Amino acid sequence: MNRTRGRTASGETASAVLDIAERLVQTRGFNSFSYADVASELSVTKASLHYHFPSKAELGEALIDRYTERFAVALAEIEASERDAGKRLDAYVGLYADVLQNERMCLCGMLAAEYETLPGPMRAAIVRFFELNEAWLAGVLTEGRRGRGLSYAGSPRETARGIVGGLEGWMLVARAHGDLARFRPTARRLVANLAGVA
């Protein structure tokens, strides 16, 4: 048996499980899907899913960790490509708009709605996601104020929390109206108002 091929196949299965579970959470919520749903889409047994993720809680934590890592990479790319604080904030709005354009919601936003029903490790991972975003935004806001490109009331951290909360909320509103196109202009205005972007 080719051990490398076996490990690759195993890794590909785990990745496929995460891909399907992520879509299900982003469209239906964590408590609204089961291992049976994932197994059916992959045409495998539930036992094979438990091999990769022994419990749904472990699957959920892996989903959040992967999502957070991808978001961190996207934030680093924004920093590398945009020097202007206002443009960085606009690019940040774009991350949310891209998720919504695919008819999905922010993974951690969906999970936050179910927070009280989730196990402790998942709750902690959700908080880490939002803290990552708030810290990054606070850094952008601080640089923008120092460079006189941004002018806003309150602390950078408070403003960052307003941006994250506003974007998550507007995703829900756009979804409820069935009008995804309304998100980007409204979200941009929200960020502009909060962050003092001209």
Residue pair 142/88 in contact by the 8 Å Cβ criterion: no
Return the C-alpha torsion angle 77, 83, 87, 88, nearest 10: 40
pTM higher than 0.95 for the full model?
Answer: no
pLDDT above 70: residue 184: yes
Calculate the alpha carbon distances from 118 to 56, 126, 159 in Å: 10, 10, 28
pLDDT tens string 114-153:
999 999 999 999 999 999 999 999 999 999 999 888 988 9
Sequence-distant (6+) residues with CB within 8 A of 166 are 187, 190, 191, 194
Domain boundaries, the chain: 57-195
- Across the chain, mean pLDDT equals 91
Angle at 191 between CA 190 and CA 192, to 5 degrees: 90
Strands (E), 31-190: none
Residues 22, 28, 30, 32, CA torsion sign = negative
Domain 57-195 adopts which CATH fold? Tetracycline Repressor; domain 2 (1.10.357)
Cα separation, 120 vs 103, whole angstroms: 28
